Structure formats: C-alpha cells, structure tokens
Amino acid sequence: MNERVSELTYATINELAFMIHAGEVSPVEITEQVLHRIQRLNPKLNAFVTLTAELAIEQAKQAEHDIMHGRYKGPLHGIPIVHKDLYYTKGIRTTASSKILKDFVTDYDSTVVAKLHEAGTILLGKVQTHEFAAGMTTSSPHFGPCRNPWNLELVPGGSSGGSASALASGMAYLATGTDTGGSIRIPAACCGVVGMKPTYGRISRYGIMPMAWSLDHPGPLARSVLDASLCLDVMSGFDAKDVSTVDLPPPGIKLYPEGLKGVRIGLPTNYYYEDLEPQVEAALQSAIHTFRELGAELIEVEFPLIKHVPEATMAIMMAEMYSIHEKWMEKKSDDYGQDVRMFLESSKDIPASIYLQSQRARQLVTDDFLNAMSGIDVLLTPATPNTAPYPDDQAGALRLTTFTLPTNLTGMPSLSMPCGFSPSGLPVNMQLIGRHFEEAEVLGIGYAYELATDWHKRHPQL
C-alpha cells in the first residue's frame, strides 16, 4: 500500500480532486486504500449493509482510464462514495435496513444515484439507515446497530447514521442522506461532519424509498462545507419524474473573501436556545463570538408560531408514513422492528382533519419564518440540544429532532456543521438556516466560519 495514499484518509474532495486531475494519485490507489480501511473498521462500526468492493475497483479503473485519456468529468471524478440504503441502485439491493426489503433489487437507479455516477463517483456500497428512516439511533434489529466512531457505545444519530459514521471514520469521502425530521443534520452533529438539507424541490426524490413525501429532503453529507457544496451542485436540478423539483441552476457557493462584514446573522430569542446541554451552549457561544470576529452583525429575532412546529410536523409525518406502509402493516407487521411498528400503529388513526389543519399550520409557520428572516441573511442555531446519546436513551434520541424539525416543515435550506466538542470529546454542531433556494449564502457563510476554525479537521482515533 502506498504510504502517501494511506495518509489521504481524511483529505477533502477538493484536495483529492486536484491531485487526481494532476495525476499525483490515482482513483484505484484511493479506492484500494479506503476498501482496506472498511475491512478493518466496519466490523466495529457496522455502517455498511452492502459492500460493493468489486464494483468499486472496476469503476476506479474506468475513472483512471478516462482521466488519463483526457475525459476528466470534474471534482467528483474518481471519488469513492456511499449511498444511504434508501437510494435505489440498479442491480444492488436497497433494504432500508429492514426485513421487508432485505432482498429488494431495482432495475434502475434513483435520479441522484444516476447523477453522481455520471459525475464519475465510485460506489463503495450502501450504508445503514434507521429502519425505513423512522428513528434517530440507526440501531437496526435486522442488520445490527450502527455505531458512533467517536464512542462505540453511542449512537451515530439517525436516520442517516451509516452515512455519518462512514464519513467520520474515513470509510468514505462523501455520502448521500435523506432528511424528514433532521435525518441528515442530526447524524452529522452526532458524528462531527457536515450535513446539508437543501430547499424542498432542489433535489429529486425519484427512486428514493420515501418516509413522508412532503417532508423528505435528499441531500449530501461530507467532511467539509466545500465538499458538501460540490456534491449538492451535482445532485440538484429539475427532474420530470419528480413534480416537486424546480428548474434552477445548481446553487454553487457564495464566497466571502473579505470576511463577513455586512452579513446579518439572526439569533432566535425563543425555542432554539432553550434547554441546551452545557457543552452545546458553550460551543454555540464560542461560534457566535467567532462570527462577530469575522465581522458579521448578530441580530435577535423571534418566532411567535414556532411552538406549533413539533405537533404539526409529526401529524404530517405520521399520516404520510402510514399511507406508504399500510399494505405491509396489514400483512407483514411482525416483520418491522418494535419501535417502527409501534410508531406506525400509532399513526394509522390520524384524522384527516388533523392532517389538513397541520398543513395549514405549515404555511403559517413558513410565513412566520419568512417575516422573521426578512432583514437577515441566515439564522444561527444549535443543530441539536444534546450530543450523541446511548442506544437506550430514548428521551435523548427524541430531543435530537428539536431544532431540525422546523425547516422540514418550512422546506428551508439548513446546514449542520462542526463548531466544537464536549469535555468528553463528543462533537457539537451548529445549524445555519437560509431562505428558500439560498443555499449559496448558507454554504458560503458556513465556509467562512470553517476557514476560521479547525473543528472539521479533528477526527476520531480508531
């Protein structure tokens, strides 16, 4: 094994892309190195459901050949990635970490998978989700629990826990996720990586096993804000197979070379800073100080209607999820894990009137957010009120969704990124929230913070 290549475990995509394009390192070498790391670490972390090692080597050889012959496709060409096991992959099973779909294989790729393949990425395999994306722990009764690389006794968050665990441990350079109540941003926070939930409609949901149609947001997880931006650009775009998508160019990233002077950052005076663990509060206060040093103006904002978010979001989520699973619940209810089965059983009797009232509340809450954000560029909040909990800490797992639910309801873009560590060495993430389709500003402000700090450069010892 090339020693220089083995040191690239935590290189960013931007760094790797430069080296690959320049011929300093080959996709085959990188892929062999990461497969060796998976072989060593996955028995501890249990992030993978399906490993596609032979396919990865085949794709790496093709990428190397194409690049050597002048057919370089861009910064994702030759980059090894993983997909959350909700994304349909042609000829490769998509289990949703469930017994019901344990042998489910489609004959087509999801739109996102197809786009990332066309960009030249290398597929290492499919990684764990909480069963059918319906939970925060990624502790599958069917495939075993996925573990947090910072502390193997803790959960990696959910439901994109396998994506975050693989990234944080150096078993992939990029990962896809889905976010219905926080399922990209929460595992990003628990594992100390970057998770981007884009605006609803920015990325096609076609070919992704749904949890709740009107709340589901596909998006990338990465180890840096710039890497997340590169992936988001490829994933984005109109898709005739998903009527919710919009015909807009990729968002890109807005750069702030002179610091953040003139940028207005909102600090919520209610909801978001209540009942925080001390280590989360300390990390956020430090982040606020850094933003001030970068020249940003911090402005207090209030959300009068935000108290309605949890109830409205959960009613919509439960009703929509049950409609997806109704036939399986009638015939195969015993094939669900206990927690997901209980959730579905409690969902089947949501009255239509409650669902419709919740959808009306959704618009009121969205208007409330837009009014509060009319004079600012982004909101700054904690990503989660607590750090990664133990598997049996159900209250701690439920609390993880507190600050992520609002932008699933409103459809606004929100970024979860590292901003500190607890005294015991667990990562803490902050959240930046923007107006609809203003991902470039959200990512750019996050990137300016990332350049001024080194939290994203710290990695677990495994």
Catalytic residue IDs: 84, 159, 183
Exposed/middle/buried for residue 86 (C-beta within 10 Å: 0-12, 13-18, 19+): buried
Q: Of the candidates 197, 185, 260, 254, which has an alpha carbon nearest to the alpha carbon of residue 226? A: 254
Which of the 8 DSSP states describes residue 336?
S
Q: CA-based angle 143:189:33, to the nearest 5?
A: 60
Rounded CA-CA distance 392/397 in Å is 9
- Beta strand extents in 95-226 (DSSP E only): 122-127, 139-140, 144-145, 175-179, 194-197, 217-222
Q: Which amino acid is it at 414?
A: S
Question: What residues contact residue 125 under an 8 Å CB cut-off, 6+ apart?
Answer: 38, 48, 49, 50, 51, 52, 53, 56, 82, 83
Angle of helix 439-452 versus helix 225-235 axis, rounded to 10 = 160
Rounded CA-CA distance 185/207 in Å is 21
Rounded CA-CA distance 188/165 in Å is 9
Side-chain-facing half-sphere of 81: CA atoms under 13 Å: 30
Rounded CA-CA distance 136/414 in Å is 18
Reply yes or no: is the peptide bond before residue 159 cis, omega within 30 of 0: yes
